[in-house]
Amino acid sequence: MFAKAAARSFRRGASSLLISGQRKQRMPTLQQLQSFSSSPKQQQQKQEGGPDGVEDSNKPLAEKGDKSWMARLWDTYSVRHQTNRIIVAEAFLQAANKQASDPRWFGPGRITRDFRSHQALVTMHVWFLHKRLISNTSDPHTAALIQEELFDIFWTDTTCRMRNYGVNEWLIQKNLKTVQQYTFMHCFHYDHCYTDLLDKPEERHEELRNLIARHVLLLNPDGEPANAPSAQAQLDAENKINFDQLERLVWYVEAQYQNIVHDIPEQLYRDGRVAWVNLPDFSKLLDNDGKQLDEVPIDTDDVLPHPWARNIANDGQYYYWNMETRKSTWERPVA
């Protein structure tokens, strides 16, 4: 635990979040939630190595590979390994946050500036990294531990952003559970696209359109069941959708999946470095009648002078740090 506290203090000065005098419990990862839905028979088959006694492809990531139980214990509890995976997970989340906070999403991209849309963009990029981690075959045990750290830090970061939006401290835990529900549903939809529909590109493309419209553009009407909106609700949502914008977002997801899961060099990924595909070109967007829309400029308040970056503290306040000098300040830097 000391190793975790020391590593996390590198970013925020604390390893755990105190809420109402109690320490926040480690939140479940996406893989753990998926395992909860397995039947007793499926769980028994996984423990026995699958239906035919061979290693099951659905076996938990941490149990795959050829490491002995002693090696796994060492990886799990040694100070050096704990510190390293926390640093890598922090780097992954920083990369996801930076990409999701690019001002082009909210200016030219016309994505609304609210908590849920931003959460959806961060979730999208965290899911890409999660997918790369669970596809690791060289050291799946370490990848599983990094994935746990990534989601743990992700929930802490989510809580900090909730405070920034003014959520009362006494309601943080209640609201966090709600955020986790729709965040995991968002991730499950990506899993469906790239598991069940992986070899069905046309169906996958259509499902990605629905996914992005619902989770990123927030076009599913309030009060309607997510899986069965009324005819009028569907018509109202379609009238709000810009299909040109939607197509560009879909192709971004497709390109980013290929990039992170298949193309990014192993060494970059192991070091916690992420080279994202660039954002879609949102210039010359067309409305649904084929007419070009007016350009929406980037908000100058979103642009920081190089090499400054923005981060969030545990109390929900943003601070700024210089990536070259490593100095931080509460005051927004000016060019």
Query: What integer pLDDT is reported at residue 231 of this predicted model?
Result: 52
What percentage of the chain carries pLDDT values higher than 70? 74
DSSP classification of residue 300: G
Q: Helix/strand/coil (H, E, C) string of 91-151? A: HHHHHHHHHHCCHHHHCCCCCCCCHHHHHHHHHHHHHHHHHHHHCCCCCHHHHHHHHHHHH
**In terms of pLDDT, which residue wins out, 236 or 254?**
254
Task: Give 2-33 pLDDT, tens digit per residue.
Answer: 344 334 433 443 333 333 333 344 445 555 44
Over the stretch 213-236, which tens digit does the pLDDT of each residue have? 999 999 864 434 444 455 545 544
Digit-coded pLDDT (tens) for 144-160: 999 999 999 999 999 99
Q: What is the mean pLDDT of residues 266-282?
A: 88
Fold classification of 304-334 is: Ubiquitin Ligase Nedd4; Chain: W; (2.20.70)
Residue 31 structure tokens: 């893989």
Model pLDDT for residues 83-121, shown as the tens digit of each residue: 888 999 999 999 999 999 999 999 999 999 899 999 999
pTM for the whole structure? 0.77
Select the highest-mean-pLDDT range: 35-39, 72-76, 228-232: 72-76
Q: Tell me, what's the pLDDT at 29?
A: 54
pLDDT for 255: 97
The arithmetic mean of pLDDT across residues 319-333, rounded, is: 89
With a CB cutoff of 8 Å and minimum separation 6, the contacts of 188 are 30, 34
- CB atoms near residue 190 (< 10 Å): 22
**Could you read off the pLDDT of 156-197 as tens digits, one per residue?**
999 999 999 999 999 999 999 999 999 999 999 999 999 999
Three-class secondary structure of residue 325 per DSSP: coil
Q: Where in the chain is the domain with CATH 2.20.70.10?
A: 304-334
